[in-house]
Amino acid sequence: MKSKEDKKPTTVEEYLKSFQGEVHSALGQIRGLIKQEVPDAEESMAYGMPAYKLFGKPLVYFAGYKNHIGFYATPTGHEAFADELSIYKQGKGSVQFPLDAEMPYDLIRKIVRFRANENEKKFGPK
């Protein structure tokens, strides 16, 4: 039987509250800039992390870890910003922004804006 502490967050608010300090601050700022850039984005939890959709299609995801913030702007967000992201550790469809370096909020903002424009062109009202 799982204890109350093992319960996975079901809202972004609960997810953010599960972190402290620098991770909590960075996650909150990323959430804020997504909401600022794409006020119509649908916020939810998916794959155990905050997820954003626009026109019913994935926009971006992000997650907090001990030493970095994971950012997921697949499928095209990483390709479109390959040069700017090349200085960061990456995996398939993910990039890691280390907590011991300045968080690239302007770059994150550009990627979010790019993905929102892309979703609008592909899936928005005609």
Beta bridge partners, 64, equal 69
Residue-range definition of the domain harbouring residue 46: 9-120
* Among 37, 95, 86, residue whose Cα is nearest residue 62: 95
Give the pLDDT band (50/70/90) at residue 2: very low
Decide if 39 is inside a domain: yes
Domain presence at residue 126: no
Specify if 29 maps to a domain. Answer: yes
Report residue 125's pLDDT band, with 50, 70 and 90 as the boundaries. confident
Task: Give how many domains the chain has, as a whole number.
Answer: 1
Q: What CATH number should be reported for the domain holding residue 88?
A: 3.90.1150.200
Contacting residues for 125 by C-beta, under 8 A, at least 6 apart: none
Asked if residue 19 belongs to a domain, the reply is yes
Residue 1: pLDDT over 70: no
**Structure confidence by residue, pLDDT tens digits, 73-118:** 977 999 999 999 999 999 888 999 999 999 999 999 999 999 999 9
* Closest alpha carbon to 77 in 32, 104, 112: 112
pTM: 0.92
